[in-house]
């Protein structure tokens, strides 16, 4: 979903969605998914 927001230029909303995903993945102890989402956030910050 975050990628769709990025494509629409809704960067703030994309960050919110990714942060929510990080919280959910951490609660489920899904460390690989947490790392993947954090890389997406890093990429988003690098693009700005």
Using an 8 Å Cβ cutoff, are 6 and 41 in contact?
A: no
What is the sign of the dihedral through the CA atoms of 1, 3, 39 and 44? negative
- This prediction's pTM: 0.81
pLDDT at residue 16, as a whole number: 93
The string of pLDDT tens digits covering residues 1-42 is 888 998 999 999 999 999 999 999 999 999 999 999 999 888
Q: Give dist(CA 15, CA 45) in Å, integer.
A: 9
According to DSSP, residue 29 is labeled T
Residue with the larger pLDDT of the pair 9 and 44 = 9
- What are the residue ranges spanned by the domains of the chain? 2-47
| DSSP annotation of 9 | T
Answer yes or no: is pLDDT of 48 > 70: no
- pLDDT for residue 32: 98
């Amino acid at each position: 979903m975050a990628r769709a927001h990025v494509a629409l230029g809704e960067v703030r909303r994309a960050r919110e969605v990714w942060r929510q995903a990080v919280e959910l993945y951490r609660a489920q102890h899904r460390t690989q998914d947490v790392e993947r989402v954090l890389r997406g956030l890093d990429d988003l910050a690098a693009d700005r």
